[in-house]
C-alpha cells in the first residue's frame, strides 16, 4: 500500500512537470534568442512534434524515480541531451534531471551516488558543447553546476538522516529485546529461588512427618501414649512447615509482613538437630573454630545444606544410623559437613534429587565447593566449603 501511494505521487509529479515543460516549450518565443547578439540565425528551433515528444520523455522517468532511480536518470538523460544538441528550448525539462539526481543520492550508496553526480555533470557538459546556442556565460554554467551539486547534497543528507533514524529504531528495538530478556531471566531466577526454598522447607518437614507417622502407626496398639507423642510431633512439624511456607509465599506479596521475617541461619542449627532427634535420627552438632559473623546469604545456604543433608540421612541412612553435623569456622572459609554412618553406597542411587540440585546452586552462587557421596569407611557425606572475604 505504501509503495502504491509513492508510485501515485511520483506519477503525478511526472505528469505535472511534463505538462509545465510542454506548455513553456510551446509558448516560448524563440525570437528572443535570435535577437541576441552573436547568436547564429536558425540556431533555435521552433516548437514542433519532435521537440514536444522529447520534453515529455525527459520528465516521464520521474514516475519510477523511487523504484529505479539510476535507470530513470539514464533514461531522462537521453532526451535531455537531444533537446540541447538540436537547439530546442528546454523549458522546465532540466528540472527532471535535478530531481532524478536527488533520488539517486537519497536512495543509493555513496559510490553509486558519486557516479550519478559525475554522469549528470557529463550530460550537461555534452549538451552544452553540442548545442548550437551560445547564449550562456561561464556564470550560467557555474550556476548549473551548483544546482546539480546542491541537489546531490540534499539527497545525501536525506539518506544519512534516514540511516540515522533507522539506526535509532534498531537500537531501541535491541534495547527492548535485551530488557525483555533480562526480565525473563530475572523472573526465571526468582522462580528458581522460590522453588528451592519451597522444596527445602516442604521436603524436610514432610520427611520428618512421614517418619514420625510411621513410628506412631507401629506403636499405635502396643503403646498408645508413645503413639500420641509421635502424632503430636507430626502436628507440631506440620504447623511449623505451614508457617515457613507462609513466610516464603509472603515475599511474593508487596508489603507483606513476611518480608521482614528473618531467614534461618547458623543459630537455628541446634533447633534443627533437636528436631531430627525427635524424628528418630541420632544427630550431633559440632562447632569448631572461632565463631564470627557470616554473611546472611552464606548462613542461609549453610542451613539449607544441613537441612537437606539430615533429611537425606533420615530417609536413606537406615535404622540405627547416626548423623554428625560439623561446622568449622576458619579465617577465610566456612566448612559445613553432614555425615552419617548408614548404608553409604547402598543408598547413593536413591539420594540425588531436586534438593541436592538446589544445594549445588546455592553453594555455586557463593563460590563454594560442594562434595556429595559415600564415605570411604561407610555412610554418606554432604560437605560444602564457602570462601569468606576479609572482614566477612
Fold entry, domain 266-392: Heat Shock Protein 90 (3.30.565)
Stretch among 18-32, 55-69, 214-228 having the lowest mean pLDDT: 18-32
Q: What are the residue boundaries of the structural domains of the chain, listed by start?
A: 2-136, 266-392
Q: Tens digits of per-residue pLDDT, 100-147? A: 888 899 888 889 989 988 988 888 888 777 766 655 667 777 887 888
The three-class DSSP label of residue 153 is: helix
- Of residues 356 and 96, more confidence is placed in 96
Is residue 379 helix, strand or coil? coil
Residue 182's φ and ψ, nearest 5 degrees, are: -65, -40
Is 90 exceeded by the pLDDT of residue 337? Answer: yes
Measured CA to CA, the distance from residue 138 to residue 81 in angstroms comes to 19
Q: What is the DSSP string of 300-316?
A: HHHHHHHHHHHHHHHHH
- Name the H helices within 28-109: 31-34, 49-59, 69-86, 93-107
pLDDT at 254: 47
Closest-CA residue to 150 (of 99, 194, 107):
99
Q: Which residues share a beta bridge with 352?
A: none
- Confidence tier at 286 by pLDDT (50, 70, 90): very high
Helix 93-107 with 49-59: angle, nearest 10 deg = 20
Residues 383-392 have a mean pLDDT of 79
The per-residue pLDDT for range 343-353, each reduced to its tens digit, is: 754 544 444 55
Q: Which pLDDT band holds residue 260 (cuts at 50, 70, 90)?
A: very low
Q: Would you state the pLDDT for residue 336?
A: 94
* Band of pLDDT at residue 323, cut at 50, 70 and 90: very high
Q: Summarize pLDDT for 211-226 with one digit per residue, the tens.
A: 778 777 777 778 887 7
Helix, coil or strand: residue 116: helix
Contact 298, 332 (CB under 8 A): no
Q: Which pTM value belongs to this model?
A: 0.47
Q: State whether residue 380 is helix, strand or coil.
A: strand
Predicted local distance difference test score (pLDDT) of residue 348: 47
- Condensed to tens digits (0 to 9), the pLDDT of residues 168-189 reads 888 888 888 888 887 787 677 7
pLDDT for res 132: 61
The yes-or-no verdict on residue 373 having pLDDT over 60 is yes
Task: Give me the mean pLDDT over the 197-201 stretch.
Answer: 68
Strands of 333-340's sheet, edge to edge? 282-288, 322-330, 333-340, 380-387, 369-374
Could you give the CA distance from residue 168 to residue 170 in angstroms, rounded to a whole number?
A: 5
Q: Which residues of 220-249 are buried (b: 16+ CB within 10 A; e: fewer)?
A: eeeeeeebebbbebbeebeebbeebeebbe
Element at 196 (helix H, strand E): helix 138-218
CB 323 within 8 A of CB 281: yes
Reported confidence tier of residue 253, pLDDT bands at 50, 70, 90: low
What was the pLDDT predicted at 224? Answer: 80
**Does residue 285 contact residue 273 with C-beta atoms inside 8 Å?**
yes
Amino acid at each position: 500500500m505504501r509503495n502504491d501511494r509513492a508510485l501515485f505521487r511520483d506519477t503525478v509529479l511526472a505528469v505535472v512537470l511534463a505538462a509545465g515543460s510542454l506548455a513553456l516549450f510551446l509558448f516560448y518565443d524563440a525570437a528572443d534568442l535570435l535577437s541576441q547578439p552573436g547568436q547564429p540565425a536558425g540556431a533555435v528551433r521552433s516548437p514542433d512534434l519532435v521537440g514536444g515528444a522529447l520534453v515529455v520523455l525527459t520528465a516521464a522517468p520521474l514516475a519510477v524515480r523511487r523504484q529505479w532511480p539510476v535507470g530513470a536518470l539514464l533514461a531522462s538523460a537521453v532526451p535531455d541531451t537531444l533537446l540541447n544538441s538540436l537547439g530546442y528550448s528546454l523549458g522546465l525539462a532540466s528540472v527532471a534531471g535535478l530531481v532524478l539526481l536527488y533520488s539517486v543520492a537519497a536512495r543509493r550508496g555513496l559510490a553509486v551516488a558519486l557516479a550519478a553526480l559525475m554522469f549528470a555533470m557529463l550530460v550537461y557538459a555534452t549538451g552544452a558543447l553540442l548545442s548550437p546556442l551560445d547564449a550562456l556565460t561561464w556564470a550560467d554554467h557555474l550556476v548549473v553546476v551548483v544546482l546539480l551539486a546542491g541537489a546531490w547534497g540534499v539527497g545525501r543528507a536525506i539518506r544519512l538522516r534516514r540511516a540515522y533514524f533507522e539506526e535509532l529504531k534498531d537500537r531501541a528495538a535491541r534495547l527492548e529485546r535485551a530488557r525483555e530478556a533480562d526480565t525473563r531471566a530475572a523472573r526465571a531466577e526468582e522462580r528458581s529461588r522460590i522453588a528451592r526454598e519451597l522444596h527445602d522447607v516442604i521436603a524436610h518437614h514432610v520427611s520428618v512427618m512421614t517418619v514420625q507417622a510411621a513410628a506412631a502407626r507401629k506403636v499405635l496398639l502396643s503403646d498408645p501414649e508413645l503413639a500420641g507423642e509421635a502424632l503430636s510431633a507430626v502436628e507440631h512439624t506440620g504447623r511449623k512447615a505451614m508457617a515457613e511456607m507462609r513466610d516464603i509465599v509472603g515475599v511474593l506479596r508487596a508489603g507483606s509482613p513476611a518480608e521482614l521475617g528473618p531467614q534461618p541461619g547458623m543459630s537455628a542449627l541446634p533447633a534443627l538437630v533437636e528436631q531430627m532427634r525427635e524424628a528418630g535420627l541420632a544427630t550431633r552438632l559440632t562447632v569448631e573454630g572461632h565463631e564470627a559473623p557470616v554473611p546472611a546469604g552464606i548462613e542461609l545456604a549453610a542451613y539449607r545444606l544441613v537441612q537437606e543433608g539430615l533429611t537425606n540421612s533420615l530417609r536413606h541412612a537406615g535404622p540405627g544410623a547416626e548423623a554428625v553435623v560439623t561446622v568449622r569456622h576458619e579465617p577465610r572459609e566456612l566448612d559445613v559437613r553432614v555425615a552419617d554412618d548408614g548404608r553409604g553406597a547402598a543408598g547413593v542411587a536413591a539420594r540425588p534429587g531436586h534438593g541436592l540440585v538446589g544445594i549445588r546452586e546455592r553453594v555455586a552462587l557463593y563460590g563454594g565447593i560442594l562434595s556429595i557421596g559415600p564415605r570411604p569407611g561407610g555412610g554418606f557425606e554432604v560437605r560444602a566449603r564457602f570462601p569468606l572475604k576479609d572482614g566477612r
